[in-house]
Amino acid sequence: MSDRMPVLYLSHGAPPLADDALWTAQLAAWSAELPRPEAILMVSAHWESAPLTLGATTTVPLEYDFRGFPQRYYRVTYPAPGAPALADRVRGLLAGPGTPVHEAPARGLDHGAYVPLAEMYPDAGIPVLQLSMPTLDPERLLRLGRGLAPLRDEGVLIVGSGFFTHNLRELSWGTGPDEAPAWSKEFDAWGWEALARGDIDALLDFEHAAPAGRIAHPRTEHFAPLFVSLGAGEADLPGRRTVIDGFWAGLSKRSLQWG
């Protein structure tokens, strides 16, 4: 049996995910099936910074990068240990001429990182490092993921955190987990079929190739982490599986695992 860690892409939800009994149970069940990581590397839709930047290299306060929620969501803590050794390793893998890797040690985990991790690893006992997305270009993010792939053999769980469909202007409040507008269902089905075929070329061109691509992702930052995960998990293509599916307020929460 290989000791290689799997790679995840998950739909992370807003802070009220903590109040969703179904979704929190799904995330907890998922982590229970995984080998316990030595460290976790998070790539979140909510941190775009060029050049590549590493955050939360030590335990620092969270980034409450949202507005308009009840005060209790701003009191949530997730004091995971920092991962300075992993930060050094990432620099060694990615830094080179024309590819600097910066550090923002005071930047804490944002909600794309800590919201799902609080449900999956509530003890906050695993070192966590967050890596910025230096671009939204799918091909460059795919290459970034490929560069990170050796970490899988070192006990590191690589997680791309986004949302499989993401259009906040078209939210369908009050809908059930199997209900969604046509554009969200069509994009979700197309994306799953492309992943099942291992059709990376189609996925890279999702804005044009997918039905309702521009509606499902008016801006692409929540689909972008998928390409980091695809690159890191490429050795296991097309061997992937959907672990969580269904919809939340009409958005696809499809979440995937390679390996």
- Per the structure, how many domains does the chain have? 1
Residue 74 has φ and ψ, to the nearest 5°, of: -90, 0
Residue 2 lies in a domain: no
Q: What is the mean pLDDT of residues 45-57?
A: 95
Residue 96 has φ and ψ, to the nearest 5°, of: -175, 180
Residue 1 lies in a domain: no
| Per-residue pLDDT at 248 | 94
Percent of the chain exceeding pLDDT 70 equals 99
Q: What DSSP letter does each residue of 153-205 carry, written as one string?
A: GGTEEEEEEE-SS--GGG--TT--TT---HHHHHHHHHHHHHHHHT-HHHHHT
Strand locations in 23-107 (E): 39-44, 52-55, 101-104
- Gap between the Cα atoms of 259 and 201, Å rounded: 21
pLDDT in tens, 161-204: 999 999 999 998 888 899 999 999 999 999 999 999 899 999 99
pLDDT in tens, 83-136: 999 999 999 999 988 889 999 989 999 999 999 999 999 999 999 999 999 999
- Gap between the Cα atoms of 115 and 78, Å rounded: 9
| Per-residue pLDDT at 56 | 81
Average pLDDT, the chain: 95
pLDDT in tens, 219-239: 999 999 999 999 999 999 876
Q: Is the pTM of this model over 0.85?
A: yes
| Per-residue pLDDT at 1 | 36
Domain that holds residue 209: 7-258
- Gap between the Cα atoms of 131 and 187, Å rounded: 27
| Per-residue pLDDT at 74 | 94
| Per-residue pLDDT at 3 | 85
Residue 206 lies in a domain: yes
CATH number at residue 170: 3.40.830.10
